[in-house]
Structure 1
């Protein structure tokens, strides 16, 4: 386990105690939810072995909290597969900034990226990810499948940039040009339960950034399991009424919000679609999982893990939480820079407590390229809560064609085709053409 992961910071409250007589099994669902807050760095993604070790470290952090007498749900963080584009290119991982790393990666993989760029007419940054997607998708899914099996947990793998696939014979074929921010849910045997694509992208995920494809709202579904009727709202989606309302209409009882908040936690920001509504980020976060569980209809619990750490010149920070109804968690507490309130079943403390001015200064010290001795010294940890729900009344949704393809891959019934042979290096004219295309990316 990486040395930067300190002993687990725990937060726990039993939401609905089981008062059934011991000789009469309750029909209710009793389970444990676990949220892991890891710290990432570029070095975790430079090889398959490094990535597997980083993912395993998170399950090892959760292991002491896994309940032996009930099912366990472990939820990991958003875009934990995105930096796999660094795999095999250690120089890019040391580039210092995202822009430099992207350019180095583009040039390093030019013979593979250029055909995608020209054939599918996508941006250079999306072409780069699509060109590397077969190997990275296989590594990501197989790593998560093996961890779900080994630890015997229901696993929300977080999310990763994922193409859209279809199954033809025993091969997965990629739909041209599509790259979603996709969460994958697996069962304790490593079997696929379902996927969910992020609908509302942040500016950093759109064409000015990593250039992902928005997911269709009408494809969001709820998956009934022994650990709740699971609906996924990745990061910004959990702030949006159209997403939470659609999940509630389908009977969602446990909302999963994998997160990667790309800014200092104590900095103010305005979230789309109203960037003029500037407020402290912790205050804004009350409009996601906490609001969904304290004011919603069917949504009873929410699990919101947040990754921390400076990835090249990008800053990620936050406070992971598990939320519920006010009567489930009457003890008043809340994020920093907000007043205490009921509804937090478990909450990871931030790195410090104190006056707002001091906390904002600490956030600046932690941020990437601050040069301060506290730079990149975030808090990591794990939270858990024992939860109870009545039997599910939610029907199992039919699988999409994409899910059928991923299920076949995870079950060993299909393969991702190897990348086509590299084009011969086309020399200076091809490089100049690529640079011109890169210059049109709008940044």
Structure 2
């Protein structure tokens, strides 16, 4: 086909804003039902005459570590849950901790990564096929896999916050790892591995030349410039904002720049699309709900150029402006002080009658882009392994309990304990 014969790309984009709770991750069945519910929200609006792109939220696979441990689901705080989970999975987590020299929280996640990655990715694959959509799965803690001698191996110690994008047949389009981690994702929190900036690529599809900037990455100029240089026309920004929406925010790398969170959010996808460079549209879904003792809130949006959405509107606590093609309203409309109080009332542990009561929903917009002429980027070894796993061409990696390492670790703990007793 010559450029003169190519047709514009017409497609429909969706941003799903779900409510989550620890119980949604208590079992494989609960997780599948929770994720399916998000596609069901989109189902009545799916276009029949054009392809559909559905974008889910950040770290929607992280709480799978709770699966199968009812005490952790009811622990009340993530700190207590993490301790219960590590003790419950000690025979599997301790060998990883000793062998790969990682923190207990990363060892726990890596020890469970085979089953959790399989559940997460196969659920997303099946939903993409069933609903016939291009699916940005959100993101999840994901190890780095590779094919070796016809088998899949996991690289030691590596655990990214990773987005996976699938086509309507459930086949892999590509992955993207979060480059700029928040403090809660670093060593003092869930202890993830920053993604390499140079591995971010753009994926040409019928629903846009897709570039992914997970949450904080969409605020960072180095990420946006790289995606623009690669020809990105549709930015995907899966998000999980771990604070009341109307709180104050100081984002790294300048935590001293404190302002209302919605004001800070204008510096991500809205700013990217309205400044008029290659990125024409952005889809930014945000999860809401109190997950144990953590609060998540926000306003999902689809943004574009000012001429795409001339009607003035904006996030809570900000002045109306063009560029919002679709925007989910927040829970209230009021003056600044009342909005800040409303955010605190819904936060975890508030004790208020409105605690954990947030707005959920789905946004959609019909978008148009010129024909795609970008070549698809070559696949990484990790993508080759994921593609083979999703197609069922290779088996998912399994790791035994490592009883020798457990025995060695137990002996080491016993030695430390006996020495402490002698010192008393």
Of 168, 176, 189, which residue of structure 1 is paired with 2:156? 176
Q: Which residue of 2 aligns with 1:112?
A: 92
Q: Which residue of 2 aligns with 1:406?
A: 386
Runs of 5+ unmatched residues, structure 2: 418-424
- The verdict on how the C-alpha distance between 1:431 and 1:84 changes in structure 2, with shifts beyond 3 A counting, is farther
> What does residue range 300-311 of structure 1 map to in structure 2 within 5 Å?
300-311=280-291
Structure 1 CA distance for aligned equivalents of residues 138 and 10 of structure 2:
23
The 8 Å contact of residues 146 and 385 in structure 2, kept in 1 or not, is answered as yes
Of 303, 309, 318, which residue of structure 2 is paired with 1:323? 303
The 8 Å contact of residues 94 and 409 in structure 2, kept in 1 or not, is answered as no
- The verdict on how the C-alpha distance between 1:302 and 1:313 changes in structure 2, with shifts beyond 3 A counting, is same
Cα shift readout 1:337-395 (whole Å, capped 9, x = no counterpart): 00000000000000001000000001000000111110000000000000000001211
| 3-state secondary structure, aligned to 1:272 | coil
Q: Please report how far the alpha carbon of residue 168 of structure 1 lies from its aligned counterpart in structure 2 after TM superposition.
A: 1.8
> What does residue range 97-176 of structure 1 map to in structure 2 within 5 Å?
97-176=77-156
- The verdict on how the C-alpha distance between 1:435 and 1:208 changes in structure 2, with shifts beyond 3 A counting, is farther
- The verdict on how the C-alpha distance between 1:435 and 1:141 changes in structure 2, with shifts beyond 3 A counting, is farther
> What does residue range 51-62 of structure 1 map to in structure 2 within 5 Å?
51-62=31-42
| 3-state secondary structure, aligned to 1:34 | strand
Q: Which residue of 2 aligns with 1:44?
A: 24
- The verdict on how the C-alpha distance between 1:173 and 1:269 changes in structure 2, with shifts beyond 3 A counting, is same
The 8 Å contact of residues 159 and 181 in structure 1, kept in 2 or not, is answered as yes
Q: Which residue of 1 aligns with 2:343?
A: 363
Using CA pairs below 8 Å that are at least 6 residues apart, which structure has the higher relative contact order?
1
Structure 2 CA distance for aligned equivalents of residues 433 and 151 of structure 1:
54
The 8 Å contact of residues 6 and 371 in structure 2, kept in 1 or not, is answered as no
Q: Which has the higher helix share?
A: 2
Of 171, 174, 188, which residue of structure 2 is paired with 1:194? 174
> What does residue range 40-439 of structure 1 map to in structure 2 within 5 Å?
40-421=20-401, 423=403, 426=407, 429=410, 432=413
The 8 Å contact of residues 91 and 401 in structure 2, kept in 1 or not, is answered as no
The 8 Å contact of residues 114 and 434 in structure 1, kept in 2 or not, is answered as no
Runs of 5+ unmatched residues, structure 1: 1-24, 437-443
- The verdict on how the C-alpha distance between 1:235 and 1:281 changes in structure 2, with shifts beyond 3 A counting, is same
Structure 2 CA distance for aligned equivalents of residues 421 and 286 of structure 1:
47
Q: TM-score, normalised by structure 1?
A: 0.91
Give aligned pairs, total: 413
Q: Please report how far the alpha carbon of residue 431 of structure 1 lies from its aligned counterpart in structure 2 after TM superposition.
A: 9.0
Structure 2 CA distance for aligned equivalents of residues 228 and 394 of structure 1:
10
- The verdict on how the C-alpha distance between 1:70 and 1:131 changes in structure 2, with shifts beyond 3 A counting, is same
The 8 Å contact of residues 97 and 312 in structure 1, kept in 2 or not, is answered as yes
* Deviation larger for 188-197 or 388-397: 388-397
Q: TM-score, normalised by structure 2?
A: 0.95
RMSD of Structure 2 on Structure 1 (CA): 1.8
The 8 Å contact of residues 154 and 397 in structure 2, kept in 1 or not, is answered as no
Structure 2 CA distance for aligned equivalents of residues 433 and 262 of structure 1:
38
The 8 Å contact of residues 77 and 259 in structure 1, kept in 2 or not, is answered as yes
Cα shift readout 1:156-189 (whole Å, capped 9, x = no counterpart): 0000000000012432100000000000000000
Structure 1 CA distance for aligned equivalents of residues 92 and 414 of structure 2:
15
The 8 Å contact of residues 204 and 372 in structure 2, kept in 1 or not, is answered as yes
Structure 1 CA distance for aligned equivalents of residues 282 and 409 of structure 2:
53
Q: Please report how far the alpha carbon of residue 305 of structure 1 lies from its aligned counterpart in structure 2 after TM superposition.
A: 0.1
Structure 2 CA distance for aligned equivalents of residues 205 and 369 of structure 1:
22
Structure 2 CA distance for aligned equivalents of residues 430 and 279 of structure 1:
51
Structure 1 CA distance for aligned equivalents of residues 116 and 108 of structure 2:
12
